[in-house]
């Protein structure tokens, strides 16, 4: 059915605007009147604007920081007793970020046309899958404000977990990039000048400079083929990523990678047990909670494990057996899940397991940064120092010859 823009008056005299789905303009007017609103204007949006809107919603996923702020604001307003539509209108009418304002406006339009907040969140492409589930559980208990508070806590914890990995990677990656740029500049622009200088003096360069000249020649002549090969590999990977088997194989190799593989596995495991525990605590049924947790995973291997776990739980297998079947969940977490399953306190045990894993991730990250930082500085110093030694040695020889 087509989607119509509308402007209408509520019984209180306040003007509202939004979109609704209807067969035609008359049906749209009837739907507005059914919820106590009096239509002023109803228009059908152009096909191009609808397509652009859908693409922007699908591709323009709300940044985690903006989504956390929106959820906190809505939780505070609803918890203070402000009506849901009024709360959304206040956020949408503020001077926040554009995507945050658009989210509030779109959800308000959905609520005004009679949809529940959980349905509107579930249908909104830019929101994570578990967002609407937690809101639906809060609606069932009559505590939307509490559900939104829990959601904000979950989103903040997930963002902190992701930033832990970024914190471990950003320094070595920055050192690596700076080293590559510095070495590339020396090999392309500085070293070749010495070759012309030595030819003019008809002098055999020292061993270190001969090696450096050979590397410079290889770099200059091989840069283009290597770049084209890297682009070809990138295109191949992008095309093959459509294959679920290929994505799964790559994800498993990433988890087996030295140093960063185990850290990534711990971060994903922590995200898994924390999100699953909070969904279960919110009242989401276990199979749906497992499915939503799988959708939130970044690594494809964890998604596959949770998909199998959902199938196992639906056919009556135990939660512990289903989650531990893939071998990706740490033994301690599996043991806590087993205890929670036996005592009937699964949600609390999952959250406790996430706390333990989070402390392990923080400790591992701190150790890794403490180890990688001096190694990166030493490696960069040796590399740049070796090039400088070869250049200065050649300069001294040329100076002696000229003298």
Burial 356-366 (b: 16+ CB within 10 A, else e): ebbebbeebbe
Tell me the torsion sign for CA atoms 224, 227, 233, 238. Answer: negative
Q: Please compute the mean of the pLDDT values over residues 165-192 and round it to a whole number.
A: 78
pLDDT class of 193 with cuts at 50, 70, 90? confident
Check residue 296 and give its pLDDT.
83
Which one-letter DSSP state was computed for residue 186?
I
pLDDT tier at 3, thresholds 50, 70, 90: low
Give 126's contacts (C-beta < 8 A, 6+ positions apart): 57, 58, 60, 61, 62, 99, 103
- Residue 284: pLDDT over 70: yes
What is the number of domains present in the chain?
2
Helix (H) or strand (E) holding 38: strand 37-43
| 35 neighbors 114 (Cβ within 8 angstroms) | yes
pLDDT at 61 over 80: no
| 11 — pLDDT class (breaks 50, 70, 90) | low
Residues 171 and 316 placed together within one structural domain of the fold: yes
The whole-number pLDDT of residue 55 equals 41
Same domain, yes or no: 36 and 171: no
389 and 257 share one domain: yes
- Mean pLDDT computed over 99-110: 85
pLDDT score of 190 more than 90: no
Indicate the residue among 45, 60, 81 that finishes a domain.
45
Residues 351 and 210 in one domain: yes
Tell whether 131 is covered by a domain: no
Residues 6+ apart with CB under 8 A from 348: 277, 281, 340
8 A C-beta contact, residue 210 and residue 390: no
Of the candidates 277, 273, 295, the residue with the CA atom closest to the CA atom of residue 130: 295
Residue 228, domain member (yes or no): yes
Task: With respect to residue 236, please indicate whether it lies within any of the assigned structural domains.
Answer: yes
Q: What is the pLDDT of residues 319-344, one digit of tens each?
A: 888 888 888 888 888 999 999 989 98
- State phi, psi for 17 to the nearest 5 degrees: -145, 155
Q: Which of 280, 283, 310, 285 is nearest to 295 (CA)?
A: 310
On whether both 230 and 361 belong to a single domain, the answer is yes
Same domain, 37 and 165: no
- Residue 147 belongs to a domain: no
Report the C-alpha gap between 399 and 403 in whole angstroms. 6
Q: Which helix (H) or strand (E) holds 135?
A: helix 129-141
**Are 335 and 206 in the same domain?**
yes
Query: DSSP 3-state assignment of 3?
Result: strand
- Quick check: is 369 in a domain? yes
* Top-confidence residue, 223 or 128: 128
Residue 56 binned pLDDT confidence (cut-offs 50, 70, 90): very low
Residue 350 CA from chain centroid, whole number? 22
| Same-domain pairing of 169 and 40 | no
Place of tokens 């739907």: 31
Examine residue 132 and state whether it is found in any structural domain, yes or no: no
In this prediction the pTM is 0.68
260: pLDDT confidence band, cut at 50, 70 and 90?
confident
Do 245 and 368 lie in one domain? The reply is yes
Query: Can you give the residue range of the structural domain that contains 353?
Result: 160-403
Whether residue 63 is contained in a domain is answered as: no
CA distance 251 to 307: 15
């Amino acid at each position: 059915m087509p989607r119509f823009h509308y402007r209408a008056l509520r019984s209180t005299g306040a003007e509202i605007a939004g979109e609704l789905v209807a067969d035609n303009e008359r049906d749209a007017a009837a739907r507005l009147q059914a919820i106590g609103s009096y239509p002023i204007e109803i228009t059908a949006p152009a096909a191009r604007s609808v397509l652009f809107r859908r693409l922007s919603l699908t591709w323009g996923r709300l940044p985690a920081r903006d989504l956390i702020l929106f959820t906190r604001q809505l939780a505070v307003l609803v918890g203070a007793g402000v009506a849901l539509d009024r709360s959304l209108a206040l956020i949408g009418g503020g001077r926040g970020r554009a995507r945050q304002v658009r989210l509030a406006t779109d959800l308000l339009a959905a609520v005004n046309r009679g949809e529940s907040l959980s349905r509107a969140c579930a249908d909104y492409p830019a929101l994570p899958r578990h967002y609407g589930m937690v809101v639906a559980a809060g609606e069932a208990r009559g505590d939307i404000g509490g559900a939104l508070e829990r959601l904000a806590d979950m989103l903040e914890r997930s963002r902190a977990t992701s930033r832990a990995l970024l914190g471990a990677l950003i320094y070595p990656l920055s050192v690596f990039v700076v080293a590559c740029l510095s070495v590339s500049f020396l090999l392309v622009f500085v070293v070749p000048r010495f070759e012309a200088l030595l030819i003019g003096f008809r002098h055999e360069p020292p061993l270190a400079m001969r090696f450096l000249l050979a590397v410079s020649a290889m770099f200059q002549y091989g840069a283009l083929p290597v770049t084209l090969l890297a682009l070809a590999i990138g295109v191949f990977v992008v095309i093959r990523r459509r294959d679920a088997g290929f994505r799964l194989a790559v994800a498993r190799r990433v988890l087996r990678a030295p140093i960063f593989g185990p850290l990534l596995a711990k971060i994903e495991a922590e995200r898994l047990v924390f999100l699953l525990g909070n969904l279960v605590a919110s009242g989401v049924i276990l199979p749906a909670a497992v499915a939503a947790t799988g959708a939130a995973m970044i690594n494809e291997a964890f998604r596959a494990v949770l998909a199998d776990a959902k199938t196992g739980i639906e056919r009556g297998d135990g939660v512990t057996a289903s989650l531990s079947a893939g071998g990706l969940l740490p033994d301690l977490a599996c043991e806590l899940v087993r205890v929670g399953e036996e005592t009937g306190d699964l949600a609390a045990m999952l959250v406790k397991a996430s706390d333990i894993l989070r402390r392990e991730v923080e400790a591992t990250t701190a150790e890794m940064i403490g180890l990688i930082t001096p190694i990166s500085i030493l490696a960069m110093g040796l590399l740049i120092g070796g090039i400088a030694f070869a250049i200065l040695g050649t300069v001294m020889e040329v100076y002696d010859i000229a003298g």
